[in-house]
Amino acid sequence: MAAGAPISPGGGLGAGQPVASYNEDNFDTDGIVASFALSESPDQILGVYLNGQRLNEGAGNDYQVSGSDVNFEFTPPSGGVIIVHYFSGAIQGPVVYQLPLIGVSETLSNQQLYQNDDFIGKSEQDLMLFLSGQDIWTGFQNITFNSATGTIDFGTQVSGLIHGNIT
């Protein structure tokens, strides 16, 4: 899905009325600026990455969002790249969405382990993954990732659509 593409409620892409747009903004860092203006007002931040490393949101963490601005708690180093994935527009009710994919989109049914050969040799920072719309790295306790086998262990049985990006 292209940035700015509408997201629809319920039955997936194209069903019903659009309620939100997926956006991806990219910024080059200069070692001076610590605040970056998004092209749209975010309703939900999906992930902020600096040179491929996922950052943590909130006071005392890596960044905070105020209006359309992403304000870092530190000054990102010169020569870096910041990527922000987010939804803009009114998000209402259950939303089924898919991000631009590279090999990750399938439904899990009462599984504890998920294996994908595309994950082999990758790190958690390389995988921006969601299960039923929830970021798997922050939304699940006791989750473990095995880079050698490309296996994610959720620590419990899970069901839902897993999807996302591999960088």
> How far apart are alpha carbons 114 and 145 in whole angstroms?
10
pLDDT in tens, 130-142: 776 677 777 777 8
> How far apart are alpha carbons 104 and 70 in whole angstroms?
28
Q: What are the φ and ψ backbone dihedral angles of 6, each rounded to 5 degrees? A: -70, 145
Nearest alpha carbon to residue 105 among 21, 165, 158: 165
pLDDT in tens, 55-109: 888 888 999 999 999 999 999 999 999 988 887 876 554 444 444 444 455 667 7
Return mean pLDDT, the chain: 75
> How far apart are alpha carbons 107 and 163 in whole angstroms?
9
